[in-house]
Amino acid sequence: MTEIQNGPDIKIPEERALLLMQLYEEVFPQVAKFAANRGGTFDDAKDIFHDALVILYEKATDEKPVYESPKRYLVGIAKHLWLRKFNHDRKKVGLDEMERTITIPEDYFEPEESRLTSLLELTGRKCLQLLRAFYYDSLSLERIKTTFGFSTAHSASAQKFKCIEKMRNIIQEKSMGYEDFA
């Protein structure tokens, strides 16, 4: 279930840009108004909205309310992010029934390993691209096969595990080098 309202598919990069653009145009003014009414700035609204779009994307593969009404869902995520950021009184924000069911991914605000992430993005670009397609974008094996030009689904899957081992070895070297001397 990756399709949102029979329209463009958020999981396909070319269609995603179109869909995100539509959502941005239609929903951002609403979020901006919400933020402004509560003393927020343009940048507050923008930051929250950008995170909300990322989270919407992550949820789009498996949560029903997302593809039933992506716009309302997006507003709901933004409200939750607002509550979190400004510690506002829940009652004053007024979440409806659907909005109350929304959760923000637990690790979303955990600090990322930015040095290691940048290093792997640099040295293992191809592998990381492939692994993102599998693990972050949750693309089907078939789609990955075509996108990355593998001859069979099996070879795509084999390459995935080679990449995991390669990247894991880099992480191992780095963590040994930095801390595990004792």
Partner 1 sequence: MRTLRETKEIDRYLLGKMSIASRLLFEARLLIDPTLKLRVEWQQRLYSIIRSSGRRQMKSEVVRIHHHLFSDPDKREFQSNVFQVFSKK
Residues that bind partner 1 (CB under 8 A): 16-17, 20-21, 24-25, 28-29, 32-33, 36, 41-42, 46, 50, 53-54, 57, 107, 112-114, 116-117, 120-121, 128, 131-132, 135-137, 161, 164-165, 167-168, 171-172, 175
Specify the residue, 97 or 122, whose C-beta has the smaller distance to partner 1.
122
Residue 39 CB-density burial (10 A; 0-12 exposed, 13-18 middle, 19+ buried): exposed
Distance CA 76, CA 98 (A): 8
Q: Minimum CB separation from partner 1 for residue 35, in Å?
A: 8
* CB of 76 vs partner 1, minimal distance in Å: 18
Structure tokens at 118: 């940048």
The residue (of 102 and 120) whose beta carbon lies closer to partner 1 is 120
Give whichever of 102 and 163 is closer to partner 1, judged by the CB atom: 163
Three-state secondary structure along 6-32?
CCCECCCHHHHHHHHHHHHHHHHHHHH
DSSP letter for 111, please: P
Residue with the two structure tokens 């343009």: 42
Nearer to partner 1, 32 or 81 (CB): 32
Residue 23, both tokens? 């959502």
Compare residues 1 and 36 and give the one whose CB is closer to partner 1.
Answer: 36
Mention every residue, 6+ apart, whose C-beta is less than 8 A from residue 5: 67, 68, 69, 70
What is the smallest separation between the CB atom of 103 and partner 1, expressed in angstroms? 16
Measured CA distances, 143 to 8, 130, 139 (Å): 16, 12, 6
> Minimum distance from CB of 162 to partner 1 (Å)?
8
Compute the least distance from the CB of residue 89 to partner 1, in Å: 21
